[in-house]
Amino acid sequence: MTTQPSFLLEKPKPQIKNRLYNGRRIIVWEGKVKVTSIQGWVDNPRIELAKKKLISRVGERQLTQEEIFDLMKNDQEVKLKDLRDDIIKNGLREPLALSFSGKLLDGNRRFFAVKYALENMPVTDPNRQDLESVEAYVLSEDATEEDEQNVLVEENFSASLKIEWPDYVKALKVVGASEDGMSPEDISKKFSWAKSKIKETLKIHEIITEFIIYATNGQDQNDEYGGGLGLSEQEAETIAAKSYQYFNEAQKSYFDALKTDFDFKIQFFKWISQGKFSSFPEVRVAYSAWKHPEARAVLLQPDPSAAKSAKAILDYNTRIVRSTDEATGRIETFVQFLRELTATEIKLIPEASRNNLEAALEMVIKMSKAASE
Point out which residues bind another protein (CB under 8 A): 183, 202-203, 206, 209-210, 213-214, 217, 223-225, 227-228, 256, 259-263, 266
**Please, where are the H alpha helices in the chain?**
48-58, 65-74, 80-90, 108-120, 128-132, 145-157, 167-179, 184-191, 195-215, 233-242, 244-260, 262-274, 280-284, 286-291, 293-299, 306-322, 324-339, 343-348, 351-372
Query: Least distance to another protein from the beta carbon of 239, Å?
Result: 17
Q: How far apart are CA 190 and CA 149, in angstroms?
A: 8
Query: Least distance to another protein from the beta carbon of 296, Å?
Result: 18
Q: How far apart are CA 271 and CA 176, in angstroms?
A: 28
Q: 210 or 235: whose CB is closer to another protein?
A: 210
Q: 83 or 175: whose CB is closer to another protein?
A: 175
Q: 187 or 313: whose CB is closer to another protein?
A: 187
Residue 112: which residues within 8 A CB-CB, separation 6 or more? 40, 68, 69, 72, 73, 80
Q: 180 or 373: whose CB is closer to another protein?
A: 180
Residue 188: which residues within 8 A CB-CB, separation 6 or more? 194, 195, 197, 198
Beta bridge partners of 139: 28
Q: 143 or 202: whose CB is closer to another protein?
A: 202
DSSP state of 355: H
The SS3 of residue 28 is strand
Query: Least distance to another protein from the beta carbon of 220, Å?
Result: 8
Beta bridge partners of 24: 21
Q: 182 or 300: whose CB is closer to another protein?
A: 182
Give me the amino acid identity at 365. I
Tell me the backbone φ, ψ of residue 29, rounded to 5 degrees. Answer: -95, 135
Q: Are 54 and 73 in contact (CB under 8 A)?
A: no
Query: Least distance to another protein from the beta carbon of 55, Å?
Result: 21
Q: 97 or 202: whose CB is closer to another protein?
A: 202
Pick from 214, 171, 215, 210: which is nearest to 193 by CA?
171
Going from the C-alpha of 139 to that of each of 2, 32, 132, 155, 192, the distances in angstroms are 10, 13, 21, 14, 21
Query: Least distance to another protein from the beta carbon of 224, Å?
Result: 6
Q: 102 or 227: whose CB is closer to another protein?
A: 227
Q: How far apart are CA 236 and CA 214, in angstroms?
A: 9
Query: Least distance to another protein from the beta carbon of 211, Å?
Result: 10
Query: Least distance to another protein from the beta carbon of 124, Å?
Result: 59
Q: How many CB atoms lie under 10 A from the CB of residue 218?
A: 10
Query: Least distance to another protein from the beta carbon of 234, Å?
Result: 17
Q: 203 or 276: whose CB is closer to another protein?
A: 203
Residue 251: which residues within 8 A CB-CB, separation 6 or more? 200, 203, 204, 207
Query: Least distance to another protein from the beta carbon of 187, Å?
Result: 12
